[in-house]
Amino acid sequence: MVLTSTLLQSLPSDNITLLLFTFSSLISLFFLKWTFTKSRNPIPPCPPGPRGIPFLGNLLSLDPELHTYFTHLAHSYGPIFQLRLGNKIGVILTSPSSARQVLKDHDIAFANRDVPVTARVATQGGRDIAWNRYGPEWRMLRKICVLKMLSNKTLDSVYELRRREIRQTVGYLYSRVGSPVNVGEQMFLTILNVITNMLWGGSVQGAERASLGGLFRNLISELTDLLSRPNISDFYPGLARFDLQGLEKKMHRVAGKLDSMIDEIIDQRLRSNGESGEKDSEDFLQFLLEQRDRGDSKTPFTMTHVKTLLMDMVVGGSDTSSNLMEFAMAELINKPEVMEKAHQELDQVVGKNNIVEESHIHKLPYLYAIMKETLRLHPVLPLLVPHCPSETCTIDGYTIQKGSRVFINVWAIHRDPLIWENPLEFIPERFLNEKWDYSGSDFNYFPFGSGRRICAGIAMAERMFMYSLATLLHSFDWKVGEGQKVDLTEKFGIVLKLKTSLVAIPTPRLSDSALYM
pLDDT one-digit tens code per residue, 139-185: 999 998 888 778 888 888 888 888 998 999 999 999 999 999 999 98
Residue 413 has pLDDT above 80, yes or no: yes
Within-domain flag for 494: yes
The pLDDT value recorded for residue 3 is: 41
Residue 251 binned pLDDT confidence (cut-offs 50, 70, 90): very high
HSE (CB half, 13 Å, CA atoms) of 6? 3
What is the spatial distance between Cα 372 and Cα 378, in angstroms, rounded to a whole number? 10
The pLDDT value recorded for residue 26 is: 59
Residue 18 has pLDDT above 60, yes or no: no
Which comes out higher in pLDDT, residue 399 or 212? 399
The pLDDT value recorded for residue 265 is: 86
What is the spatial distance between Cα 432 and Cα 425, in angstroms, rounded to a whole number? 16
The pLDDT value recorded for residue 454 is: 94
Within-domain flag for 229: yes
Residue 252 has pLDDT above 60, yes or no: yes
What is the spatial distance between Cα 464 and Cα 472, in angstroms, rounded to a whole number? 12
Query: How much of the chain, in percent, has pLDDT values that exceed 70?
Result: 87
The pLDDT value recorded for residue 74 is: 97
Name the pTM for this structure.
0.88
The pLDDT value recorded for residue 297 is: 64
The pLDDT value recorded for residue 1 is: 46
Which comes out higher in pLDDT, residue 292 or 239? 239
Compute the average pLDDT of residues 18-31: 59
Residue 469 has pLDDT above 80, yes or no: yes
- C-alpha closest to that of 186 among 412, 494, 476, 426: 476
Query: How much of the chain, in percent, has pLDDT values that exceed 90?
Result: 66
The pLDDT value recorded for residue 255 is: 94
CATH code, 291: 1.10.630.10
Give the helix/strand (H/E) hosting 182.
Answer: strand 181-182
Residue 20 has pLDDT above 80, yes or no: no
What is the spatial distance between Cα 221 and Cα 119, in angstroms, rounded to a whole number? 14
Q: What is the mean pLDDT of the chain?
A: 88
Compute the average pLDDT of residues 258-280: 78
Judge contact between 117 and 252, C-beta under 8 A. no
The pLDDT value recorded for residue 415 is: 98
Within-domain flag for 173: yes
SS3 477: strand
Which comes out higher in pLDDT, residue 210 or 91? 91
User: pLDDT per residue over 376-388, tens digit each?
Assistant: 999 999 999 999 9
Q: Which domain holds residue 259?
A: 120-377+422-516
Within-domain flag for 236: yes
Number of folded domains that form the chain:
1
Which comes out higher in pLDDT, residue 375 or 314? 375
Q: What is the DSSP letter of 108?
A: T
Compute the average pLDDT of residues 469-474: 97
Residue 322 has pLDDT above 70, yes or no: yes
User: pLDDT per residue over 186-236, tens digit each?
Assistant: 999 888 888 888 888 765 455 555 566 667 778 888 999 999 899 999 999
Within-domain flag for 67: no
What is the spatial distance between Cα 148 and Cα 460, in angstroms, rounded to a whole number? 12
What is the spatial distance between Cα 304 and Cα 232, in angstroms, rounded to a whole number? 28
What is the spatial distance between Cα 99 and Cα 95, in angstroms, rounded to a whole number? 6
Residue 409 has pLDDT above 70, yes or no: yes
Determine which of 25-29, 45-49, 107-111 has the lowest per-residue pLDDT on average.
25-29
Within-domain flag for 319: yes
Which comes out higher in pLDDT, residue 330 or 262? 330
Q: What is the DSSP letter of 385?
A: S
Within-domain flag for 471: yes
Within-domain flag for 144: yes
The pLDDT value recorded for residue 53 is: 93
What is the spatial distance between Cα 360 and Cα 349, in angstroms, rounded to a whole number? 7
The pLDDT value recorded for residue 30 is: 63
CA 230 to chain centroid, in Å, comes to 17
Which comes out higher in pLDDT, residue 426 or 311? 426
